[in-house]
Each structure stands twice: as structure tokens, then as C-alpha cells.
Amino acid sequence: MPPTIADHLMADPRFKDLEQKIIAKMLQSQDLNEAFEHYKEFGMLLPNWKFIFPVNNADKPGILANATFSHGAAVRSLFAATHVHVWDQDTFLETMKTGSARLPLDYSIGLDAQALSYLAPFLKDESLSRIPPDFIEVFNFIAQDNVNVDPIPYCLENIPRMTDRAHIDEVFESLLAYHRLRTIDATHLNNTGKIRSKLSDNEIVAAAQVQVASMIDECGNPRFLSPLLFRHSVIYALLLKITSIQINSPKQGLKRKLTTLLQFMDEDLGVVYQRELLIANRYFHQGQKFPFFNTIQGNRNGKKMLKDLRSMAWDMLHVRNLEGAMTSKTHKDVRYFLPAILTFDKRYIDVLEAYPLKGFAYNELSGRIYQHYPSDTFGENTSNFEDELYSRFFNGNAIEARRARAEGTSDKKRIDNIAGLIENLEKEFLVVTNAI
């Protein structure tokens, strides 16, 4: 088949800039109809790109993304709407041909340590006759055939500690509860109000043993553990810096605070994270009124606050992992993977809801991703100095310099650098908070 016009365009070295503009135009669409029209016009130039949009109109078809339960628990994805809609070349062509499209997908809800600890007591003993209504609501949701749960957030938090025998035993008990949870007998639950697994006890034990063995292996595998701890350390370092900036000078101007933070991201971390930047903006405005940070205050127990910040870093890392997980291909027949998190923590729910994505795009071959937030790049109240910050930290030279530094630094050097940085940041934090 001879090359098409699209082939010629994509072969042009300047195409990358055009591609970027088309993707931005798609993600900034006001609604699905506008996105559809843009895709009709430019979709042939984006053969490997997939787009995910929140669906705010209840009449529009979509895929389940979020759920809210009556007593505070929630399932949250990276999108604000209850459903999402997707576009790619296969979906578009099917829609144009038949008026609808088949969407092979996986949808999975991750459980963090807190969620599993809340649910576990009701999963250990089938004789429990009274389960609180809010938990019954959660169990009924999970028992649906189209809902899967996974323990990935819980496992990631606990893998680094799998050298401790007592901790291994705790993890094993939690994973017994998880395997009962993922195999709830929905009919039995509806008929009796009691929880029973579709698996036998021996099958549940065997599944938990396999998973514990895998976690122990991963704990002893530097190729797995080092990148995990590094990603957590970057977020932890960022939270240490954000809280030190705010607590040290709560009345300092927003521009000064954001500039200090961006300079730290650019020079010390070598990466600029927009979601964390938006969260920092809100914290700089609200201070201790921002629920996620309300345990981090001056004149408090220093060890306890550092422990809280490490836990908060896991929370933020789980959110960041959702973005990466959306690019996963879990099965050759699956076109999309939509991850979410189940949590009972209202402070965490607030963070998950604070800056939802308005659009998400990724290239299934290269793994490149684009996110579009409904707010400005730097958050609220930054219009007077946004251009100045953007030109300093997001211009082509700044981005290229960060990339070059990252490529020129070995993994060992990067890990050593972050360890030394955290040591200094913890000292700074304990001083500015006057910790006891």
C-alpha cells in the first residue's frame, strides 16, 4: 500500500510539535461531541494514541470510574465524573461503521493498607451476623461480576518490610482477607447478609502463600525494590520541602513559595510534578485547614510527623501510579485498563478529588502520557506571575536540561543523591517545625 498523506506528515521531523498541539486540542475539548469532532479531523495522525475523558452528562454512555458510599468510603479514579469515555482509532472506526463500539477493558480497584485493615475483620469470621450497613454497601459493590479488586497499593507499602518475620505474618493474615474479598459469593451475601468466599479455605491459604512468597522475593530483588523506594523517596522529599516552606514562612507571598518549590523540583529533584504543585498551591493558601496536612504542625512530635509524611508519600505515590497503570495492557484482548482506589480516609478522598483530570492521553507504543487538569498550570491565584514561572521552569531549555541531567546520572548516583537530600530535608523540617 503506498504511503498516505498522514504517513508523509508523521515522517516529517516537525510532526512532533503538530502532534503535541493536536493532543492538547483533544484534551481541552469542552465535551465529548467536541472531542469527537477533533478526532474525526485529526485522528488519522494519532494511530497509537488513546484518550480518556470524564463523562459529566448522565445521559452519555460511559465506563464506571468512581463510586461513593453513604458512610464515607469511596472509590476514586483520577477523574471527577462517575464514568469515563474513551477514544482511539479502533473505537472511532467501529463507531463510525456501526454507530457503537465494543470496549474490551479491565477495571480494578486498588486497596491500600488502611482499606484492607478496615475490611479485614469482617472477612476473617463468616459467623459474624452483624456487619455495619456502610461495609455491607462496600461488600455488595465489590461482589459485582464487573468489579475487580487488587492489593497492589497494600503490597507496595509492605514489600520493603518483608524481612521482618512478625510483619510477614501480619501481611499473610491481611492477604487471607484480601483473597476472601476478591472472591465474595454474591448470592450468599444477598441471601444471608454474611460473607463467604467462592474458594475453599485451602485455596485461599495457597493463594495468600504464593503472594507472600512473591513479596519476599521482590523485597530481596534490588531491581524491583530500589526503583520503588526511589519513587517513594522523591515524593517524600517533595512533601518535606512543601511543609517546610509553609511552616517556616506561612505569610510569605504565593509567588515566592511556588518559586522556591519549583526551583527545588528543577534543581534538586530534576522533575516537576504538576499534581503535587497544585496540591502545594492549595496548602500554601489553606495551611493547617487543608485536611491532608493537618497533622503536620509546629511544636509536635518530630518522629511522628516524619512517619506521617512517609505515609502521605505512599498515598501520593499510589495516585501517581494510577496514571502509569492506565497505560498498562493487562491482556492482549484488553484495549483499556481503568484503575481506581478504595479508601475510607476522608483526608485522602479530599486529595483524590481535589485535582481530577479533565483528559488523559497516552501512546501505547512509547508510553508517553499527557494529562489535562481543569485548573491552571500552577493552581489558583497565579495569573499575575504564571507566565514568568512557566517561561523559567517549563521552557524547552529547562525541560531539556532536566532530561539531560537525568540521563547523565547513574541509578546508583540517583539513589545516593536522594538519600543525602532527604537527610538534609529532615533536619531542615525538624528545625522549622520546632519539633519535640
- Look at residue 163 in the predicted model and tell me its pLDDT: 96
- Look at residue 12 in the predicted model and tell me its pLDDT: 54
- Look at residue 131 in the predicted model and tell me its pLDDT: 77
Q: Indicate whether 32 pLDDT > 60.
A: yes
**More reliable by pLDDT, 172 or 100:** 172
- Look at residue 15 in the predicted model and tell me its pLDDT: 62
Does 146 fall in a domain? yes
Q: Indicate whether 296 pLDDT > 90.
A: yes
- Look at residue 4 in the predicted model and tell me its pLDDT: 47
CA nearest 57: which of 90, 35, 25, 89? Answer: 35
Does 141 fall in a domain? yes
Q: Locate cell 444471608: which residue?
A: 192
Maximum distance among all alpha carbons in the chain?
Answer: 73
Q: How confident is the model at residue 43 (pLDDT cuts 50, 70, 90)?
A: confident
End-to-end CA distance of the chain: 73
- Look at residue 126 in the predicted model and tell me its pLDDT: 59
Q: Indicate whether 2 pLDDT > 50.
A: no
Q: Indicate whether 271 pLDDT > 50.
A: yes
Does 200 fall in a domain? yes
Helices 346-354 and 302-325: crossing angle in degrees, nearest 10, is 50
Residue 64 host element (H or E): strand 63-64
Does 175 fall in a domain? yes
CA nearest 282: which of 345, 355, 349? Answer: 355
State mean pLDDT over 313-327.
91
Q: How confident is the model at residue 160 (pLDDT cuts 50, 70, 90)?
A: very high
Strand order in the sheet with 148-150: 67-68, 74-76, 336-343, 105-111, 148-150
Q: Indicate whether 368 pLDDT > 70.
A: yes
CA 216, CA 312: separation in Å to the nearest integer?
24
DSSP-assigned letter for residue 79: B
> How many CB atoms neighbour CB 322 within 10 A?
21
Coil, strand, or helix at residue 51? strand
Q: How confident is the model at residue 331 (pLDDT cuts 50, 70, 90)?
A: low
Q: Locate cell 494514541: which residue?
A: 49
Write out the three cell numbers for 222. Answer: 534490588
Does 86 fall in a domain? no
- Scanning 105-159, the segments in alpha helix (DSSP H) are 113-119, 133-142, 152-158
For the stretch 359-388, what's the b/e string if a residue is b when 16 or more beta carbons lie within 10 angstroms of its beta carbon? Answer: bbbbbeeeeeebbbbebeebbeebeebbee
Q: How confident is the model at residue 269 (pLDDT cuts 50, 70, 90)?
A: very high
Coil, strand, or helix at residue 81? coil
Mean pLDDT of the chain: 87
**More reliable by pLDDT, 169 or 92:** 169
CA 59, CA 61: separation in Å to the nearest integer?
7
Name the amino acid, one letter, at 53: F
- Look at residue 59 in the predicted model and tell me its pLDDT: 47
Domain that holds residue 148: 110-219
Percent of the chain scored above 90 by pLDDT? 45
Q: Are 357 and 322 in contact (CB under 8 A)?
A: no
Does 171 fall in a domain? yes
Domain count, the chain: 1
Q: Indicate whether 11 pLDDT > 60.
A: no
Q: How confident is the model at residue 375 (pLDDT cuts 50, 70, 90)?
A: low
Does 152 fall in a domain? yes
- Look at residue 210 in the predicted model and tell me its pLDDT: 97
Alpha carbon distances (Å) from 162 to 207, 237, 258, 345: 17, 23, 38, 25
